[in-house]
Structure 1
């Protein structure tokens, strides 16, 4: 006589548990925020106007200087707003040393809040 072997049914309970845990994991580790954008203009060939004299900002890892005078990042907006220019003023930003991307982003966020300033990043030297 031949014994009849019954096939065991596959339990789907553990598969559903694993899928639920993966779904929960990916939902909790995802970010649903919208990141801010910072407008960046790079230096290049262009036409310069003699009417407006550009401001010059040197950015180092530990200090800032506006037209040769040291200034703190928190006071930069006030220093630029104190300049009584009605027309948009170009601002040349020169990076010195190993300036981090976070420091440059913090600077550009501050500059975005100053009306009439058009910042151009020259690059690292």
Structure 2
């Protein structure tokens, strides 16, 4: 009794596995972050016993507007008024975020103050 020619064994194709690995690679590359997070140096207010006796330099960051010492002002007005209240760019500027103000708004104010040379920023509640 003859059963015919023996069949040749087929090797399993690696193409589907390579396709899956490639798709996973692309997925994780697109899902990851390539930039390094920026760090912001920040001094936290120490409370009522901080010993600060200079002129008031409080910038309140609101939803729509900024206030310097309780008066609503634009960014340009604040930058014009700050040198008159300060001895130098190393003097302390106090930042206070308003109710429900996103953190990004405070960071943006800190960044434009930093680009203008003001580095001693204190964040209070």
Query: TM-score, normalized by length of structure 2?
Result: 0.73
Residue in 1 that maps onto 2:24: 22
**Distance (Å, rounded) in 1 between the aligned partners of 2:21 and 2:50:** 60
CA contact (8 A) 2:60 2:98 kept: yes
- Segments of 5+ residues of structure 2 without an aligned counterpart are none
Distance 1:116-1:63 versus aligned 2 partners, 3 A rule: closer
Pairwise CA distance, 1:32 = 2.1
CA contact (8 A) 1:90 1:120 kept: yes
Distance 1:54-1:89 versus aligned 2 partners, 3 A rule: farther
CA RMSD of aligned residues (A): 2.8
Residue in 1 that maps onto 2:81: 79
Residue in 2 that maps onto 1:121: 123
Deviation readout 1:12-60 (Å, 9 max, x if unpaired) = 111011112222333344332233222222112453243x334111221
- Larger-gyration structure (1/2): 2
Deviates more, 1:103-112 or 1:41-50: 41-50
Residue in 1 that maps onto 2:98: 96
**Distance (Å, rounded) in 1 between the aligned partners of 2:86 and 2:106:** 25
Residue in 2 that maps onto 1:67: 69
CA contact (8 A) 2:59 2:69 kept: yes
Q: Count how many residue pairs are aligned between Structure 1 and Structure 2.
A: 121
- Segments of 5+ residues of structure 1 without an aligned counterpart are none
Query: TM-score, normalized by length of structure 1?
Result: 0.73
